[in-house]
Structure 1
Amino acid sequence: MDKTRKIWQKAKETATDKEAMKSTLTKAGNKLKSLAENSRELRELKTKLEILLRMFQSHINGEYRAFPVSTIVLIVFALVYFITPTDLIPDFIPALGFTDDATVVLLIVKKLNRDIKKFYKWEDEQWEEAD
């Protein structure tokens, strides 16, 4: 549990530092690209992480500011947890390494469901305005 507490503290610190947010976004994006898509679970994890990355990127860029601070901290926590190789179940353990990452990400996505729906609506409006 101590590792989770440390990751939570890092997420709170990261959420208040624009350079740390950018670094986290880059690291999470790079790690996401490296995941194989040979299982349904990993494909689902990638899909959920992609929306969190888009939400976070839009926040960092100042394009979408409707997120409460708690949402940003939860997004950052999910991304920091994902990029931390030695969390509860270290990523190098075959077949199990991403189990805890997926669980954390999926729980946070579920918790942020309302914010995600609003963000999807905003994205759709951006596409419509671009046409």
Structure 2
Amino acid sequence: MEDNKPNKKMLDADLEYITEGEEKLKEKLKESTHLERFTTDIVLLVSLVKDYYQGNYRNIPYKTISAVVVGLVYILNPIDMIPDFIPVVGYIDDALVIAFCLKMVEKDLKKYQVWKESQTPLKTHV
């Protein structure tokens, strides 16, 4: 377990980076037509990261939370394979990374979504 401590510290730093960069991520989603179709899923991924970071939801494999974190850090980072400032193609690599990430974590993300929806109290009409 001693070898896992650097990975845990790195994951914690990345989780914090994502929670702090949530507004930046939302702006990026508004700017990019390539990422637009992933908006709902990305918002859910950020919610998962926040719930995991806060200790609210831990029923998830380490490889899944790691894949989510790597995917979100990649699209948050302005320095990537195709720089975001390049018109038209700048966000294609981000879209490919998030699509791959979503494919990898699909089952666990659905389980989280069911859990998340069960946490929201139903509104009753008076």
1:49 alignment counterpart? 42
Once the two structures are superposed, the pairs formed by residues 102-117 of structure 1 within 5 Å of their partners are 102-117=95-110
Bigger Cα displacement from structure 2, 119-128 vs 90-99: 119-128
Which residues of 2 match residues 1-131 of structure 1 at below 5 A? 14-15=10-11, 17=12, 19-27=13-21, 29-35=22-28, 36=30, 39=33, 41-128=34-121
Query: Could you tell me the TM-score, scaled by structure 1's length?
Result: 0.77
Q: Determine if contact 1:24/1:80 at 8 Å carries over to the other structure.
A: yes
Aligned length: 117
Runs of 4+ in structure 1 deviating by more than 6 angstroms, as ranges, are none
Q: 1:45 to 1:20 in 2, by over 3 A?
A: same
| Offset, 1:71 | 0.9
TM-score, scaled to structure 2? 0.80
Identify unmatched segments of 5+ residues in structure 2.
1-6
Secondary structure of 1:112's match? helix
Deviations 1:20-45 (A, max 9, x none): 42123222x12222132673x33213
Query: Sequence identity of aligned pairs in percent?
Result: 32
Give the superposed CA RMSD.
2.3
